[in-house]
Amino acid sequence: MSIKDIINDEKKLREVARVAFESVDTDKSGQIDNAELAKVMEGISNDLGVAPPSKAEVDEVLTHLDTDKSGKIDFDEFVVLIKDVLTAMSESS
């Protein structure tokens, strides 16, 4: 199955997103809070060999993804992020 197949199959996309969401939602609250997002962003920065994100950068990402303005990222908001990431990956390959 290709990345495009996943993007175009809502059920498969949500399955992929669920696995990723559960690995990020370390307190198992059903939402990703600022601290969990910061940890993920720091891990990605470390993997890429770039400076870790500032608190302002983490806040900016949270604000961008938090479309319902709850202060946290819920699963449906996270699915949008995963779809965007997969789309970018499929376009660069």
Contact 69, 57 (CB under 8 A): no
Q: Which domain holds residue 8?
A: 3-92
Residues 6+ apart with CB under 8 A from 56: none
Contact predicate 78/21, CB 8 Å: yes
* Entry pTM: 0.83
CATH of the domain at 26: 1.10.238.10
User: Total structural domains in the chain?
Assistant: 1
pLDDT tens digits, residue range 66-93? 999 999 999 999 999 899 888 888 887 6
What is the sign of the dihedral through the CA atoms of 20, 80, 82 and 62? negative
